[in-house]
Amino acid sequence: MSLRKLYYLLPPAARILARKLVFMPSDMLERLSGRDELIPPKGLIYTGGGDFKETGFRFLGYFKEYGNLSPDDHVLDIGSGIGRLAIPLTNYLSSEATYNGFDVIAQGVNWCTQNITVKYPQFRFHHIDLKNDLYRNDGSEAKEYTFPLTDSSQDFIFLISVFTHLVPEEMERYISEIARLLSKEKTCFATFFVLDKDKPQVNPNFSFKHNYGHYALMDEKVTSANVAFEKDYLMAVFEKNGLTVEHYLPGHWRDPSKSDGTLDFQDIVVLRKG
């Protein structure tokens, strides 16, 4: 049985605890030897692997290059996790800008408030009480959620590795919320797993075995573990909500050899409100 499968067998709270326990010795060592205060201890990073700091700065680069991000923007980070993208933005956004991060996991929101907001007060983090079977069992339905922000108030909305954890009704609700919140001509930068018939999937360790036509799951018991959407369905959802695709930058999750010149692991989609 793969490590991923084993991880999904744990209840959501135990997944977060397991990570804390595994990294406890190295986190203690790091605390004793002095740690970068704006980087969370590894045991608290429940949002995925890779180099936390490097990934954040890499995405900031993509936001500038492909997402039209400007220093004075009103920015919304949906699924802000434990600040991986907020941290590099603290050095980029001006005092005129605003940043709001929303997440369903209180531990991440609290860490960000205690470590980021305290130094950068225009960075605000909000806990939203929604369920997601990868991260928590309780809470309200994301498919009915309305963000407490006014229409057309945001210049740049991003979701990094968040739509990959939402089922179709949740994704559709969030896309309609993004269309409501964006100002005209402004941008949403998001990552997805797109089921694209023109791009063969050759990665045996990353396959969406449970196919339901317009979407597919990696694990049928933990439905939000990894979700992929069929390309035509996804494009129709964007179009219905008045969002046009400015960039579609396929990722190398399908082919880890990266022989196809892809940019990042997940597919990147940059949308503009018409």
- Footprint of ligand SAM on this chain (CB under 6 A)? 47-48, 78-79, 81, 84-85, 102-105, 108, 130, 132, 135, 142, 160-162, 165, 170
**Between 98 and 107, CB nearer to ligand SAM:** 107
Q: Measured from the CB atom, is 32 or 93 closer to ligand SAM? A: 93
Helix residue ranges, H only, the chain: 3-9, 12-33, 52-66, 86-90, 106-112, 168-181, 231-240
For the bound state, the minimum distance from the C-beta of residue 134 to ligand SAM, rounded and expressed in Å, comes to 7
| CB distance 135 to 104 below 8 Å | yes
DSSP states along 175-199: HHHHHHHEEEEEEEEEEE-EE-TTS
CB of 259 to ligand SAM, least distance (A): 26
Nearer to ligand SAM by Cβ, of 47 and 262: the residue is 47
- Assess contact for 136 and 106: CB atoms under 8 A: no
Nearest distance from C-beta of residue 171 to ligand SAM, angstroms: 10
Shortest gap between Cβ of 159 and ligand SAM (angstroms)?
Answer: 7
Q: Min. distance of Cβ 8 from ligand SAM in angstroms? A: 14
Cβ-in-10-Å burial (0-12, 13-18, 19+) of 155 comes to buried
Neighbouring C-beta atoms of residue 32, cutoff 10 Å: 8
Closest to ligand SAM by CB, 3 vs 32, is 3
- Given the complex with ligand SAM, which of 108 and 261 has the nearer CB atom? 108
Q: Choose between 142 and 243: whose C-beta lies nearer to ligand SAM.
A: 142
Contact 115, 40 (CB under 8 A): yes
From the CB of 32, what's the least distance to ligand SAM, in Å? 26
